[in-house]
Amino acid sequence: MRLASLLLVVSLLGACGSTSPAVPRASSFRATPTPKVAEPARPRLPKEEVTFAFDRGLWRLEGTLTLPTREEGERVPAVVIVHGSGPMSRDGVMRGQIGLGFGFELAVYQRLADALADRGYAVYRYDKRTCGAFNDCADGGFTSVPYSLLEVEFATTEYVLDAEAALDAVAERPEIDPDRLFFAGHSEGGELVPVLLSDRPRVRAGVMLAPPFHTMTVLLEQQSERVRWSFTMAGQPERAEAEGRELLAAAQALRQIERGTHLGAPILGQPPGLWESWLELARRAPELARKLDRPLLVLGGSYDYNVAPSEIESWAKWLDGASRAPHRVRVLDCVTHALNCITQPDATRIKPDDIGRDISPAVLAEVSQFLDAHAARAKLTEAGR
């Protein structure tokens, strides 16, 4: 083909192309969206109690895990309850406080676990190693544990290790979120919470219920005065004198332990080594609390005869200088050592109907709000990783 003819063909092809309809750009196409298929709702599991035990040294400690209503496969936050002094069972049954009987039994730890489970928390409570078939969980009851082993096996340091082992066992369960773990200690157990959080950095926060600030030396002196007052008001002066004198003598013996001059006689029926272990940990607790980078909730009651409100106020003053964590300290009106409420403000006029038969709603509100705040913060931290 000659050159002129070829150019004509090319120009005609170009002309045809220029008169063809414009081809839309890819961006102008709008694909029909694929409808999303809703995921089937996961079954809801009911609130339940699961019995399980853990091993610690010579002991196998039995306990109950209360699980909240939850979706199948969901992991929930968990709280481990740490006992007060004495041979406490997992239910934490209390019949009153120093100088004041309730006239009924209040299962403090069982009620606390049940209430927190209603708020979405798994709660583990277990029988203290001082509570078992060997003594029927009774003070001064029969024990098959040789006296020479009591100072070793029932030392307060062992209670700390038991609580840590309980937490580790709970964290391994498939229902539990290991990033949202908490300790809640009561009385002696409350005093141990700073020690526990120092030993377990994975624990998000700690709840201290009716915790002493000072050692039992100071508390026994306070309790001696309270017993004398309460039984005198109740028209029992002889009992007031006898029990007040016994507690004061125990306080004096503990001062001898602190000075290193105690001769080894039992104190309130217990070996002096048990008291020495408790005194040492109680001295460490405030300093550890102040250094913590995780928050503490410290609660006491205005009607607590075992741990006076002044002890909680001492925690408030002490932690006010701590800047590493947002601690919260409160003395709640009408609350006793058993965490229930006495509605009669005049202690000399208390009647049976004035004594609450369940944990105070104010206590539950403080605890649940504190846990909710720090469980939510943990979940946000985890989501941001």
pLDDT digits (tens, 9 = 90+) for 156-178: 999 999 999 999 999 999 999 99
Per-residue pLDDT reduced to its tens digit, 276-317: 999 999 999 999 999 999 999 999 999 999 999 999 999 999
Sorting pLDDT into bands at 50, 70 and 90, what band is 20? Answer: very low
Question: Computed from CA positions of residues 375, 356, 107, 160, in that sequence, does the dihedral angle turn out positive or negative?
Answer: positive
Q: Which of 90, 126, 123, 121 is nearest to 108 (CA)?
A: 90
Per-residue pLDDT reduced to its tens digit, 101-127: 999 999 999 999 999 999 999 999 999
Per-residue pLDDT reduced to its tens digit, 219-248: 999 999 999 999 999 899 999 999 999 999
Measured CA to CA, the distance from residue 384 to residue 379 in angstroms comes to 9
Sorting pLDDT into bands at 50, 70 and 90, what band is 21? Answer: very low
The two structure tokens encoding residue 170: 């709970």
Average pLDDT over residues 20-26: 43
Q: Is 264 left (phi over 0), alpha (psi -120 to 50) or beta?
A: left
The two structure tokens encoding residue 164: 């840590």
Q: In the chain, what percentage of residues exceed pLDDT 90?
A: 76
pTM: 0.86
CATH topology of domain 48-214+272-375: Rossmann fold (3.40.50)
The two structure tokens encoding residue 318: 């002490």
CA angle 197/385/176 to nearest 5° reads: 50
Query: Looking at the predicted structure, is the pLDDT value of residue 55 above 80?
Result: yes
Query: Most confidently modeled of 17-26, 134-143, 355-364, 372-381?
Result: 355-364
* Residue of 225 and 135 predicted with greater confidence: 225
Sorting pLDDT into bands at 50, 70 and 90, what band is 36? Answer: low
Q: Which of 154, 167, 173 is nearest to 199 (CA)?
A: 167
Query: Looking at the predicted structure, is the pLDDT value of residue 32 above 70?
Result: no
User: According to the model, what pLDDT value does residue 147 have?
Assistant: 75
Query: Looking at the predicted structure, is the pLDDT value of residue 142 above 70?
Result: no
Query: Looking at the predicted structure, is the pLDDT value of residue 139 above 70?
Result: no
Sorting pLDDT into bands at 50, 70 and 90, what band is 95? Answer: very high
